[in-house]
Homo-oligomer: A and B are copies of this chain.
C-alpha cells in the first residue's frame, strides 16, 4: 500500500523516458544535471517530468550511489528526560540552525537521533551501519561518551561538537573554555571585584574542568590565589544552593562566576532574596548566553559561544570527509566572547 491514492503508482524514470521519447539514461542525465545533453532534448525531458509529476526515488538512487544525502544529527547524553532537558536550552536550537544553514544549500538533510542510553546508542550505530545516513554529527553532552568510539569502530564518518573523549581521533569543533573563563575573570577584575567565587559544572565534564582551570589561572595572574568553589549541576536550583553555601562561608564575596546561565540565574535570585544587590553588592557572570540570561533580573553578563558557526563548521568537517577532501581528522577550536549586560 503506497502513499499514492487511487492505486496509481508514482511515475518512474521509465515513464518519463517514454513520455519524452528518449532513453532512461538520458532522463537520468538531465535529472542529475550531467552536461552533454542536447538542449532541445533537455527541454523535452523537463516537460515530461513536469507532465508526469516525476520525483526520483531515493532508495533506488541510494542503492547504486551508496549515498543518501542525509546525515544523522545525534544528540548524545544520558537520562530519561535527556531530550527534554537539552531542548529546554536554546543551545540545541542554535546547533540545528547552524547545521541546517550549512547543509540545506548543499541538499543534505539531517536525521534526528537521540542516544540517551546504551540501547539507544546501539540503535544509532545499527541505523548508520545500514546506510541510512552518510555520516554522523554528534553533539555530545556527556563525560566519557562511548558513542564516538562505537562510531569509529563501525567506520562511520563522524564529526563531533565537543572534545572527543579519550584518545579518539575524530574531527571535532570545540570552544576554548579556558579562554571563556578568562574573559569572565578579566571582566570581574576590571569591575574592581577581588573577593571572587565560582559555581562550577560537574567535574566529570572536560569542559567544566577547563572553565575552572581558566578562571583560576586568570585570578592567579592577578595575584589572587584563593577561590572558593562549589560544584553545581547546571540547574537553577543547584545554583541557588551553591550560592547559599558560598555566601555562608564568605559573606563578603563581591563577584561570582557560574559555569552556566541557569546556575547564575539561581545565584542571582538567591542573592536578591537575601538582601544583596546584583551587581551592587555581588557581580555575577554566567556562561552560554542562553534565554535564562535575558529573563534574569538583572539581565546576565555572560560568556557566549559561537554555536551557529561551530555547528556549521562541524557539518563542513563531515562533508569534507564524505567527499574525500579531508583524510586527517581536524580539531577546530573557537573563541568565546563576553556579552556584557547588567549583572556584572
**A residues with CB within 8 A of B:** 1-6, 10, 55-60, 62-63, 66, 68, 70, 73, 81, 83-88, 90, 92-94, 96-97, 100, 104, 109-114, 120, 123, 126-127, 129-132, 134-135, 155-157, 236, 265, 269, 291-292, 294-297, 324
With both chains docked as a complex, state the minimum distance between the C-beta of A323 and any C-beta of chain B, in angstroms.
Answer: 9
Closest to A134 in B: B3
The contact of A96 among B83, B110, B135, by CB within 8 Å, is B83
Q: Provide a sorted-by-A list of 18 A–B residue pairs whose CB atoms are within 8 angstroms.
A: A5-B155, A55-B129, A55-B130, A56-B130, A59-B60, A59-B131, A83-B96, A85-B93, A87-B90, A87-B92, A87-B93, A88-B291, A100-B114, A104-B123, A109-B127, A111-B112, A236-B294, A295-B296
Contact B63 A59 (CB under 8 A): yes
CA distance in complex: A97, B111 (Å): 15
Q: Which B residues are in CB contact (< 8 Å) with A123?
A: 104
Contact A131 B97 (CB under 8 A): no
Q: Which B residues are in CB contact (< 8 Å) with A84?
A: 90, 93-94, 97
Contact B131 A295 (CB under 8 A): no
Q: Which B residues are in CB contact (< 8 Å) with A111?
A: 70, 109-112
Closest to A63 in B: B59
With both chains docked as a complex, state the minimum distance between the C-beta of A153 and any C-beta of chain B, in angstroms.
Answer: 9
Q: Which B residues are in CB contact (< 8 Å) with A294?
A: 236
Contact A132 B109 (CB under 8 A): yes
Q: Which of A134, A155, A292 counts the most chain B CB atoms within 10 A? A: A155
CA distance in complex: A334, B102 (Å): 38
Q: Which B residues are in CB contact (< 8 Å) with A324?
A: 1
CA distance in complex: A110, B96 (Å): 15
Contact A58 B131 (CB under 8 A): yes
CA distance in complex: A73, B96 (Å): 14
Q: Which of A111, A156, A324 counts the most chain B CB atoms within 10 A? A: A111
Contact B130 A66 (CB under 8 A): no
Q: Which B residues are in CB contact (< 8 Å) with A87?
A: 87, 90, 92-94, 96
